[in-house]
Structure 1
Amino acid sequence: MLKGLLDGGRGNSEKRGASIVRLDSRRGDAVTGGAAFPAIAQVEAYWEALRAGRAMPERGEVDPRGLEAALGHAFLAQPVAPGIVRFRLAGRQLCDLMGMEVRGMPLSALIRPDGRDAMARIIASLQVTPGAATLVLDSDRGLGRPPLDARLFLAPLSENGAAASRFLGCLEARGAIGRTPRRFAIAGVSIRPTGPSSQPASRFEQPQLVETAPGVAESASPFPPAPAAARGGRAHLRLVKSGD
């Protein structure tokens, strides 16, 4: 069940030369609110266009030029364990929200500790059953931290025949960032399956917006701040070199 993703069921350059697809943000408005979150809508529409009826597109089909208007919010992530992905390429706004370079950091670093278990379950579900997930995020707030309204889009990519070996995502926040780092609670999630499950016994209900329930808390891990030079400039994606 989708609710189980949030409450935990308590009680128990890589390949280049791809054709460029350019899309506006009109598609997907019912799920993401395209007018309010145009970058989210564009990345979702781009992923859908590349998918072309398959369970997911290939990593080599993704060309940053097709996401030009959304690059500041977009990212590519790589799974390192079930339910855990780390940033390989990240747009400027993600760094601005954290107040530091995010490459190599887990996606869950942007989530409040009490929501990281739910985030892991959502990622794990996409690794088992291909689909597109849209999360409604509610920011932390306090002195110097005004409210932020945010959405997170996350969908898998295949590579060399391996399903969900990469993830294309987008995080778009509206409002003044204020004092960093900013982290978010998961207020709701919608998952739209696009392919058969690799574990038929683990199926989910029709996607719907659900309220979050407290999860298992995970202690936050400190990260060193990035050099000041990394905080300004033009929106772009950064290459993260890994040892794999």
Structure 2
Amino acid sequence: MKHKNSLELFEYWTTRRGARAAPNRTDIEPADIRALLPHVFICDLTSDNQMSFRLAGTGLCSLCGRELKGSAFGSLWLNDGVRNASRTGVSVASRATPAVLSLDCLTTGGRVAQAEMLLLPITGPTGEHDRLIGVLSLFKPPFWVGHDPLAGFSTTGIRFIDSSREPVFLANRPEIGLSSAARVLQAQARPETRKVAHLVVLEGGRRD
């Protein structure tokens, strides 16, 4: 974990769970993590074995440009990452295995920002492992949040955390590196340029 928001939520989650694999939803007091709430979300497992947003903070909704409640967790990813993201969410909830995702956030305007997402298991009213709480944290939040909505996430790395062991700098399992589809799409979205003296020329128009 690299972002202070991830560290704060992980430490709180660890305290609230005690000796259990995961705390219950009722153990999480919003007032205790009030500074994180705009970036926090909760998902639950649906009947078709998918993760769905039960609630999402205003910061995450603003980044996406829409209300997320009721939408699929995997729907936030670019097409080639939907399946893997959905499986990761289900694994975190059902197997009580925390995970940290490194993300590229691609906007509809072709911009890219880096972010970190922490996913932590929690239990519902029945005590079953069927929910997760997470936080999405942007590194150096850009000016365009709320104006240039998210086109999709691209996962560039995943680290699963063994919560039964004492983490060393909260990184007791190596990150699994993944290719970034967002960088490819961003490059495709940018017009060709060339520099002439002190001017930057955008390529376009007729070529004959």
Q: Following the alignment from structure 1 to structure 2, what is the Cα–Cα distance between the partners of residues 121 and 207?
A: 19
Q: Which residue, 193, 204, 215 being the options, matches 2:162?
A: 193
TM-score (normalised: structure 1): 0.63
The CA distance in 2 between the partners of 1:53 and 1:84, in whole Å, is 28
Per-residue deviation, 1:161: 4.1
Moved beyond 6 Å, runs of 4+: none
The residue type equivalent to 2:18 in the other structure is A
Contact 1:56–1:158 under 8 Å retained in 2 = yes
Count of equivalent residues: 170
Q: State the 1:44 CA deviation.
A: 1.4
| 8 Å contact kept, 1:54–1:194 | no
**How is 1:121-200 mapped onto 2 (pairs within 5 angstroms)?**
121-140=87-106, 144-174=109-139, 175-176=141-142, 177=145, 178-194=147-163
Contact 2:53–2:70 (CA<8 Å) still a contact in 1? yes
Which residue is equivalent to 1:91? 57
SS, match of residue 100 in structure 1: coil
Q: Give deviations 1:175-221, integer Å, cap 9, x for gaps.
A: 323521342101111111336xxxxxxxxxx7321122699xxxxxx
Identity %: 24
Q: State the TM-score, normalizing by the size of structure 2.
A: 0.73
Kept in 2: contact 1:83–1:121 (CA 8 A): no
Unaligned runs of at least 5 residues, structure 1:
1-31, 196-205, 216-244
Q: 1:152 to 1:92 in 2, by over 3 A?
A: same
Q: 1:182 to 1:43 in 2, by over 3 A?
A: farther
CA-atom RMSD, angstroms?
2.3
Assess if the C-alpha contact under 8 Å between 1:158 and 1:165 holds in 2. Answer: yes
Three-state SS of the structure 1 residue aligned to 2:31 is helix
CA–CA distance in 2 between the matches of 1:145 and 1:115? 18
| 1:110 alignment partner, one of 76, 89, 105 | 76
**For residues 4-61 of structure 1, what are the alpha-carbon distances to aligned partners after superposition, in whole Å with 9 as ceiling and x for unaligned?**
xxxxxxxxxxxxxxxxxxxxxxxxxxxx11xxx2222221111111111310001111
Unaligned runs of 5+ in 2: 165-171, 182-208
3-state SS of the aligned residue for 2:175?
A: coil
State the AA in 2 paired with 1:72: P
Q: CA deviation at 1:125?
A: 2.2
Q: Classify the secondary structure of the residue corresponding to 1:171.
A: strand
State the one-letter code of the partner of 1:61.
D
Tell me the residue number matched to 1:53: 19
8 Å CA contact retained: 2:56, 2:69: yes
